[in-house]
Structure 1
Amino acid sequence: GTSFSAVEYYREPKTGGETQMFIGEALWDWGIPTAVSLIEASQTVKLPLIASGGIRSGTDIAKALALNASLASIVQPILQTAVKGAKETEQKLSCLIEELRNVMFLVGAEKISDLPKTPVVVTGKTAQWLTARGFNLQKYAKRGA
């Protein structure tokens, strides 16, 4: 997920566009969070879902898969490491995979396909958003029980 508001915010000081910078800052948090998108989409359509916004870690990958994503795309941490070299990128990927394996162990998921069956407790702004939109979050919290 690219935040075009963030792009404008960081780009405009170099070009002198204060208005675009102001708008970029004002709309910084605009958009639908990935977790909300996954829950809404998975209950609306029966298509494979790809989680791509804000995925930064193995834990984020596990959460996305637990919220019914078929795939998770992780870009920023890989690109940040790729500029350092292939060895660093391979090490980063190994760490992400190991983190995902650890999270799976902690939630009792032997296979990736077990993650969507594990209980997920949705809290905070995400829970408020989804509750306001009429989604039953107990359905996620009581999975596998």
Structure 2
Amino acid sequence: MFTGPTLTPELSVSNIEKSLDFYINLLTFKVKYERKEDKFAMLILGGCEIMIEQVNGYWSTGELAYPYGRGINFQIMVEDVEVIYRRLKAHAYPIKYELTESWYRVDDKLYGQQEFLVMDPDGYLLRLAEDIGEKAV
């Protein structure tokens, strides 16, 4: 019986080593498992799981061109978004949208989060965010 998340994105990447360096050393993901012979890794961060696999033609539905994943962003909830943000800044990694506080209305409440946007080495847009509470509209 499958007991993992019910949606786990698998991202095609141009260079598995470069992507692993970004996700592990900058975003603090951990390797849950990998298949080096397939240039594949399952990564975890808190409750988030993501698969990355070097482009091999198997999953291709069309031509891949940078930036990959156009039209989608992946929100990754973390416990301390500022730590990751500072790590990226310390490594002079480009930030797409600087750290900010945002409030989103859901019915009669506002839900807040600190968040920033960054593109991974292949151009996938990632929104790293931390919950900062709720308030009435």
- Asked whether the two chains share a fold, i.e. TM above 0.5, the reply is no
More helix per residue: 1
TM-score w.r.t. the length of structure 2 is: 0.24
Q: Higher relative contact order at CA 8 Å, sep ≥6: structure 1 or structure 2? A: 2
More strand per residue: 2
